[in-house]
Structure 1
Amino acid sequence: MRVISLNVNGIRSAERKGFFPWMQQQNADVICLQETKAQINQLSEDPFFPKNYHCFYHDAEKKGYSGVAVFCKTKPDNVISGIGRVDFDAEGRFIEAQFGNLSVISLYLPSGSSGEERQNFKFSFLDYFAPLLQERGQDGRNYIICGDWNIAHKAIDLKNWRGNQKNSGFLPEERAWMDTLFAEDQWIDAFRVVNQEADQYTWWSNRGQAWAKNVGWRIDYQVVSTALKDKIIGTSIYKDERFSDHAPLIVDYDL
Structure 2
Amino acid sequence: MQRSFSYIVLITWFLLAWSCKTQYVTTSLKKSNHEVVNAAVPLDSQLVSIYLPYKSVLEKDMSRVISVSEQEMVKDRPESSLTNFLADMMLKEGAEIAAGLNKDIRPDISFLNYGGIRTFLPRGEITVHNIFELMPFENEVVFIQLSGEQVQEFLNYVAENGGNSVGGIRFKISENKAANVEIGGKPLSEKELYWLVTNDYVAAGGDGFDVFTRRKEFVAGNVKIRDVIIAHLEKELDNGRQISAKPDGRIVYE
> By the TM > 0.5 criterion, same fold?
no
Scaled by the length of structure 1, what TM-score is found? Answer: 0.23
- For CA contacts below 8 A with separation 6 or more, give which structure has more relative contact order: 2
Q: Identify, as 1 or 2, the structure richer in helix.
A: 2
Bigger Rg, structure 1 or 2? 2
Scaled by the length of structure 2, what TM-score is found? Answer: 0.23
